Amino acid sequence: MDIREASARITALVEELKRLNAAYYNEHQEIVSDREYDAKLAELRTLEEAFPQLRRGDSPTGRVGEDRDSFFEKVPHRVPMLSLENTYSYEEVREFDARVREQLGVAPAYVCELKYDGMALSLVYEKGELRYAVTRGNGAAGDNVTNNILQIATIPHVLPGVDFDVEVRGEVYMLNSFFEEQEADTTSKMKKLKTPRNATSGTVKSHDPSKVAERRLQFVGYQYYGTQLAKSHSETIDQLQAWGIPTGALRARCQDIEEVLATIEAWKELRQSQDYDTDGAVVKVDDLELRARLGATTHAPRWAIAYKYPPERKETRLKNVRFQIGRTGLVTPVAELETVKLNHADISNATLHNAEQLVRLDLHEHDMVLIERAGEVIPKIVGVNPAKREAGAKPVTYPACCPSCGTPLAQREGQVYCYCPNHAGCMAQHIAQTIYFVSRTALDIRSVADRKIEEWYRNGLLHAPLDLYTLTLEQLEAYKLSQFKESDYDTDLAGERVLKKQAAVSLKQYIVSSTKLLEQIALSTHRPVEALLVGLGVPNLGEVQSEVLLEHFGSLERLAEATVEEMSEIPGVGEVVAADIWNYFHAPENEALLPRLRGFGFDLTYHPHAALSDSLEGESVVVTGKFAQVGSRPEVVKRIKEMGAKVQSSIGDGTTLLIAGTRPNDKKLQQAHERGLRILTEAEFSDLLSD
């Protein structure tokens, strides 16, 4: 790998890890497993060691994840609150021991503690009285959540007989028994919180302290800073316990690393019986003087390491494989499973990605499959148990024809994906297109749920996305009436057939909600024409290109009349996209498209955005990646234009700036580095907006 490739990869990894940190610490979501996260972090660290001149100041290798919330006061940590290095094998634990012994010149004793899966917290006592409770934050400073933490019954507000300053670090967590009670309670407001860890984080950062008491959060202390109480960590933790601070029940002092490994192994099954989630064991040098000699990096102490247990896996029966059709006709196999609980979630579906995955797994009908779900990661099938395969079971294969419309499937050269080429007549594609049409990226009709769209298609109320604008209240009322059974009717005194009271109330509520829904659909005609063009779903046409084209031609009518040559001349469009646009507007089914859109009330003229500021005046900007802090991609593009810049879809001779969100395009990053372009992260762009 040369320096340019390394530069692009480092930038991509930094942005990806920052996105994952933001999701974990701020949004209480685990998008990838710990193992996947640590692999990305290790790759970044290796590249930075090989190319130290490319190390960025915002690199996650030199920081811990950040959980700070603007609602809370910021409090600096007296001692940096670092993370721990993670390991996934006993061999790596032995390598940790070898590094420690080499640096110290002696073989130390260790303390092994079960690792709670909750939220890190620092309790600061001044003269024995609890003064602050502070989250990890960015390691240097965290959020003051004292008012919330005071609601945790097991945390003492005063340490008896203590007249000096004390800092206790530990973990806030939720009991599994309480979380499962909430899952079973259909009225609980916690049902959207997928795991006890997510529920804990959300509760600690709640703006309502009473929620902490209601949810019975717990605390366990595992680290002390202040006046030295003893010579060893294990004796110090005993003192915390004597003061009334909860400490972990599963804690063991080990004479050497082999005893440590034996303890970790013994806890593998024992931890499953605890009333809290654990994801590993922490190994610490016990002697405090030896710890001081070992020190720490900017990211983690050298005297401790966390061993992570393998993610939970369970066997379940494959019921069926459903072949799902996307809006472009792409066919994705989805495994339907006998429901099994995994990491507090009921798992009944898992993606199978593509045909190659089916072959690799050698998946057969009704196989017993092994599924894995680490954190919030989408469940995946990691193996099959052939020993439990039914006699005569047939291999699962891709269908030859579209499951929705029966059209023979096609496959592009060099690709593993199959697709349905019947774009005009495939109902499944129309359903997916309509779901995309009403999405925030396009027409933003949020009140129209996915299941409602499918229901309308299945019952003949919709045949294409624009049919939304022809729906009437009379149609919807008639549809609702057709759903009632004979048992929902009664006969009045005049012999007339009438709805029973409960059915009549249901109809009335349906009419009210349908009226509001139709109002929302009508309001969407006021969306800008660039959002409409995105919603139409022209193949290969992206959000940036939609705006660039409309800005150039001035209206959707003029764009529809443009030749392939005219469109191709616009920077960043190209012949492929231009041909797709021409084909779309000249397809027989779209002959009356523009008159229909005007008839529905759409303004097909492009209106330049009012200038927000001149912060980017004269810049030519390329946008790459996904954005969470400042809105969707279309909103980012809009903001850039409001700041006086031009937006390009690809890097060219005139490009002066790249704005990179999470998961940026590696090629664009590499081109930006090669050309020496200025690169702004999403956070930096957000700061620019607030200037």
Question: Catalytic residues, which ones?
Answer: 115
Write down the H helix ranges in 163-242: 176-184, 196-204, 210-214, 233-242
CA distance 273 to 328: 47
E strand or H helix at 659: strand 657-660
Say which residues have a Cβ less than 8 Å from residue 351's Cβ, sequence separation at least 6: 332, 333, 334, 335, 378, 379, 380
Q: Is the CA virtual torsion 377, 380, 383, 387 positive or negative? A: positive
Evaluate whether 17 touches 37 at the Cβ level (below 8 Å): yes
Token representation of residue 172 = 């806030």
Evaluate whether 176 touches 116 at the Cβ level (below 8 Å): no
Evaluate whether 545 touches 576 at the Cβ level (below 8 Å): no
Q: What pairing do the DSSP bridges indicate for beta strands 620-624 and 646-648?
A: parallel
Token representation of residue 41 = 């972090």
Closest CA relative to residue 253, chosen from 235, 275, 265: 235
Token representation of residue 182 = 């909430």
Evaluate whether 85 touches 306 at the Cβ level (below 8 Å): yes
E strands in 368-408: 368-372, 380-384
Residue 653: Cβ within 10 Å count: 7
CA distance 257 to 295: 20
Token representation of residue 497 = 């057939």
Q: What pairing do the DSSP bridges indicate for beta strands 620-624 and 657-660?
A: parallel
Task: State how far the alpha carbon of 654 is from the alpha carbons of 7, 551, 618, 648, 649, in Å.
Answer: 22, 18, 10, 9, 12
CA distance 51 to 59: 13
Closest CA relative to residue 147, chosen from 125, 166, 167, 132: 132
Evaluate whether 154 touches 219 at the Cβ level (below 8 Å): yes
540 alpha carbon, distance to own chain's centre: 25
CA distance 612 to 455: 42
Token representation of residue 682 = 């999403």
Task: State how far the alpha carbon of 336 is from the alpha carbons of 111, 147, 318, 350, in Å.
Answer: 44, 45, 6, 7
Evaluate whether 117 touches 197 at the Cβ level (below 8 Å): yes
Write down the H helix ranges in 307-378: 355-361
Helix axes 196-204, 176-184, angle to 10 degrees: 90
CA distance 194 to 343: 9
Rounded (5°) CA angle 571-576-581:
90
